[in-house]
Amino acid sequence: MRLKRFLEEAYDYKLLEKNKVPLEPEEREKVMKAKAVWHSGPNGEETAAVWKTKDSKGNVKYCCNTHRAIQIKDTLAGAIKAFDFIRTTA
C-alpha cells in the first residue's frame, strides 16, 4: 500500500506541474530539432511539447501531454518518442 501511494504521488499531474523547471538550451534544441512541438506560440509559433520536472530529491522526469493524456519518461529521448502518441490524443 505504501508503494502504491508513493507512485500515485510521484505522478500527480499537479505536483509534476508545480515542480516544473525550464529545459536546458541543449535539451530544448533537441526537442525542436525532432519536431516534438506544438504550434501554440503567440503567432502560432512552435513551442516545445516536452517539459521537465524535478522533485525535491533532484530526480528529473520529462513529460509530454495534452488535456487527455500524459507520458512521463526518465529520458529526454523517451519523451520525444512519446510525442507521436501524445499528438494523436490532441
Q: Which three cell numbers stand for residue 46?
A: 512552435
Q: How far apart are CA 74 and CA 88, in angstroms?
A: 21
Mean pLDDT for all residues in the chain: 87
Q: What is the DSSP letter of 41?
A: S
pTM above 0.85, yes or no: no
Question: How does pLDDT run across 35-77, given as a tens digit for each residue?
Answer: 999 998 889 999 999 999 998 889 999 999 988 888 999 999 9
Q: What percent of the chain has pLDDT over 70?
A: 88
Domain boundaries, the chain: 2-89
At 11 the pLDDT is 67
